[in-house]
Amino acid sequence: MGIDPYGLRRDLGARTFDGWLKPAALGDLDPETGTLDIVMPSQFMADWVRSHFGDRLALAWKSTLPLVRSVRVMAGTDGPRPTPLLILEEAPEPAARGRDPSAPNFDPRYRFETFVIGKANEVAATAARTLATAKTVSFNPLFIHGGTGRGKTHLLHAIGHAFLAQNRSAKVVSMSAEKFMVEFIRALKENDTIGFKQRLRSADLLLIDDVQFIAGKDSTQEEFFHTMNEIITAGRRLVITSDRAPQDLDGIAPRILSRLSWGLVADINSADFELRFNIIETKLAALPAVDMPRNVVEFLARRVTSSIRELEGALNRIAAYAMMTGRAIDIAFVEEVLANVLRANQRRITIDEIQAQVAEHYRIRKAEMTSARRAREVARPRQVAMYLSKQLTPKSLPDIGRRFGGRDHTTVIHAVRQIEKLRASDAELDADIRLLTRQLEG
């Protein structure tokens, strides 16, 4: 680890520290769990350090860097990472011992105060706060959708915190759609559907995450629809999240989609440079020991664009390495620490993003990208999206065809050739493609 930022050398003596702890290397820091990996040269050393210093390392890192919530000591290897040997979780708060085990356990980090707002998420954030705090709301349910790592779960937990702060005796139920399905099936097997229904339908606030997971599950969707109706009709509040807009959810019953659309549908788009910059600045404010120059903040905001979750993970990793090594944070240091992340972000454009961007540009529904319609107003944008998918992603022609409603690869070839031909003679189309390419490459 190079240096001793938390006094172990002083407490243990130079010989013990240099022999057992100095050879340690800093591994990954998982932003979701707050688990920091300490990697030892051998399994024997990992076992010894874990048993003798595991608790002390965890305590030291928690107090030194608030991002760390547990430490995992493991052996280094040239192959895949070994199975986690030990995770030291934070002790539960005293008040938690007597809490209702069925009550939602909202992450204390995910509050409205810590949610950074920009153009990409302003509507969703405002709607979430309104539903959580207003005495009456003009919309119900609230449907929040957006890609992975954009902040849907953060808003869901923030709603729970704020609602309970104003309604201390309220009943709040929070679960993923997958858990809804599992518990419903279990209730059917145990002949306890009445208990299942009563628990969910009596909630003052019901939060359902990732509703796309019940696609194609007819019996689960039947129960989900009646649960929605009961909650809304009774004037209670319902929030649902998904990775797609209602009209793009395949395999979901039309009456559920219709019910969702009755409320407020708010999307969270990809964060632009300004929002990414502000998120880094906000996170750094909570890390006074981390000195990151403005040019490095700008570098990170420009280069890590895939998701807010990955951006936060990159910042956590930089902070941990800087604290551990004592090195100054400059662009060279960041390029060294985030080599794999930066490389992965160079060309991580997905077909889904291309379809969404092209649909928005030509003002058509994204669902038209996979529809059977051949009208010119949808056929041409679809060809443009196929062309860009071939140019900007490593996907094969058959893969691209499948993502456009199961079309044959020859259809993709025709679209690519057609757009290439038209670009040479149609200046407006050529300008469209140049603009779309710049937007997608970010």
Structure token digits, residue 190: 């145990």
Lowest-pLDDT range, 67-71, 93-97, 110-114? Answer: 93-97
Note whether 389 and 430 are same-domain residues: yes
Do 226 and 364 share a structural domain?
no
Rounded mean pLDDT, 53-66: 74
Strand partners, 242: 145
For 8, 68, 155, 434, the CA distances from 53, given in Å and listed in that order, are 9, 16, 38, 57
Judged by average pLDDT, the poorest of 137-141, 180-184, 310-314 is 310-314
Please state, rounded to an integer, the average pLDDT across all residues of the chain. Answer: 84
Domain containing residue 263: CATH number:
3.40.50.300
Report the domain count for the chain.
4
Q: What is the DSSP letter of 287?
A: -
- Note the pLDDT of residue 164: 94
Q: Which of 30, 59, 75 is the last residue of a domain?
A: 75
- Alpha helices of 90-204 — where are they, by DSSP H? 122-133, 152-166, 177-189, 193-201
- Whether residue 327 contacts residue 333, with contact meaning beta carbons closer than 8 Å, is answered with yes
Mean pLDDT value of segment 179-196: 92
Same domain for 258 and 286, yes or no, is: no
Instruction: Measure the CA–CA gap between 388 and 382, rounded to whole angstroms.
Output: 10
Q: Residue 23's Cα: distance from chain center in Å?
A: 34
pLDDT at residue 88 greater than cutoff 70 = no
Q: Say yes or no: 211 and 166 in one domain.
A: yes
* CB burial of residue 322 (10 Å; 0-12, 13-18, 19+): buried
Question: How far from 376 is each of 279, 403, 433, CA to CA, in Å?
Answer: 42, 20, 17
CATH number at residue 33: 3.30.300.180
Q: What's the domain range around 305?
A: 273-345
Within a domain: residue 163? Answer: yes
Radius of gyration of the chain (CA): 25
- 336 occurs within a structural domain: yes
| Phi, psi dihedrals of residue 101, rounded to the nearest 5° | -60, -20
> Tens digits of per-residue pLDDT, 246-268?
988 888 999 999 988 889 999 99
Tokens representing 314 are: 């990159």
CATH code, 284: 1.10.8.60
Confidence check: pLDDT of 94 > 80: no
What dihedral angle (degrees, nearest 10) is formed by the CA atoms of 409, 412, 413, 417?
180
Give all strands of the β-sheet with 205-209 in edge-to-edge order: 172-176, 205-209, 237-242, 142-146, 264-268
pLDDT surpasses 70 at 348: no
In terms of pLDDT, which residue wins out, 18 or 270?
270
**Is residue 311 in a domain?**
yes
What pLDDT is attached to residue 54? 81
More confident residue, 57 or 4: 57
Q: How many CA atoms lie within 13 A of 440 on its CB side?
A: 27
182 belongs to a structural domain: yes
Judge whether 260 and 240 are in contact, CB under 8 Å: yes
Distance between CA 422 and CA 166 in Å, rounded?
59
Question: CB neighbours (10 Å) of residue 293?
Answer: 12
The confidence score (pLDDT) of residue 347 equals 56
Q: What is the pLDDT of residue 4?
A: 44
Residues 120 and 152 in one domain: yes
Q: Are strands 70-75 and 142-146 parallel, antiparallel or unpaired?
A: unpaired
**Which of 322, 345, 368 marks a domain boundary?**
345
Q: What is the residue-wise DSSP string for 331-343?
A: HHHHHHHTHHHHH
Using a CB cutoff of 8 Å and minimum separation of 24, what contacts does 218-224 make? 218/253, 219/184, 219/188, 220/180, 220/181, 220/184, 220/185, 221/252, 221/253, 221/256, 222/253, 223/184, 223/197, 224/177, 224/180, 224/256
Whether residues 281 and 262 share a domain: the answer is no
The answer on 261 and 209 residing in a single domain is yes
Q: Are strands 35-40 and 25-30 parallel, antiparallel or unpaired?
A: antiparallel
Lowest mean pLDDT segment, chosen from 57-66, 104-113, 172-181, 200-209: 57-66
pTM above 0.85, yes or no: no
- Say yes or no: 130 and 153 in one domain: yes
d(CA 182, CA 220) in angstroms, rounded, equals 9
Q: How far apart are CA 340 and CA 182, in angstroms?
A: 37
The Cα–Cα gap between 8 and 295 comes to 34
